Amino acid sequence: MSEYLQLFWTFAQVGVCTFGGGYAMLPILQREVVDKRGWVTAEELADYFAIGQCTPGVIAVNTATFVGAKRKGNLGGVVATLGVVFPSVVIIVLIAAFLKSFAHIPAVGHAFAGVRAAVVALIASSVLKLGKTTVKDVPAGCIFAAVLLLSVFDKQLEAAFPAVAFLFSPVTYVVLAGAAGLLISLARKGGRGK
């Protein structure tokens, strides 16, 4: 039972940092489940982030489910998921109850501006950490650069090519990147076999 409580508590602590959405949690997830507890490796966590991006829901919630399931099976996945969403539910209920009362106060607006700036830093930190563990060679660097460019210019590409606008989405990028990685791996094995 204590491992389930540890799962819940760990992900509840991560869930408190929900400002800015799931991406703001990524560096905290890495610190908690890779660096501190060793529940997964950095590579596994990067895989969970990629799968979590492709599946419905918030990336951090999906990742918590994957980590919990790896650690303690299906029940572990449920416990980790409940842990990561519990603080959000409590915070949202409290904010909803009192937001009208203090939303107009300038200090509140400034506080939220500060939180948004911190979120950008957390996301940048997560990108740098993920980059170190996943972009290890030239082909991975090329895939990274291609997806980055597609992501930056996706709205312009959608406007320029409306018939295939559905292709310019994160899900498509992850699937194509996975296919490219597989093809590169097969090509390397084929080259070694000759």
Question: For residue range 44-70, what is the model confidence (pLDDT) as tens digits?
Answer: 888 888 888 777 777 888 889 999 999
101 in the same domain as 56: yes
Report the pLDDT value the prediction gives residue 20, as an integer from 0 to 100: 56
15 and 43 both lie in a single domain? yes
Residues 86 and 9 in one domain: yes
Which range marks the domain in which residue 52 is found?
1-134
Q: How many domains does the chain have?
A: 2
Q: Are residues 14 and 69 in the same domain?
A: yes
Helix ranges, 32-105 (H): 42-54, 59-102
pLDDT at 110: 87
> Are both 104 and 10 inside the same structural domain?
yes
Q: What does the pLDDT read at residue 193?
A: 57
What pLDDT shows up at residue 146? 92
Residue 73: what pLDDT? 93
Give the per-residue pLDDT at 22.
63
Q: What is the DSSP string of 114-166?
A: HHHHHHHHHHHHHHHHHHHHH--SHHHHHHHHHHHHHHHTHHHHHHH-GGGGG
Instruction: For residues 69 and 181, give the distance between their C-alpha atoms in angstroms, rounded to a whole number.
Output: 26
pLDDT in tens, 165-177: 888 888 888 889 9
99 plus 57 within the same structural domain: yes
140 and 122 within one domain: no
Give me the DSSP letters along 6-49.
Answer: HHHHHHHHHHTT-TT-GGGGHHHHIIIIIIIS-SS-HHHHHHHH
Same domain membership, residue 114 and residue 26: yes
Q: Does this model's pTM top 0.75? A: no
| Statement to judge: residues 149 and 88 lie in one domain | no
Same domain, 16 and 99: yes
Residues 121, 184 within the same domain: no
Based on the fold, state whether residues 118 and 143 are members of the same structural domain: no
- Residue 162: the pLDDT is 87
- Which of 108, 134, 160 finishes a domain? 134
Residues of the chain with pLDDT under 50: none
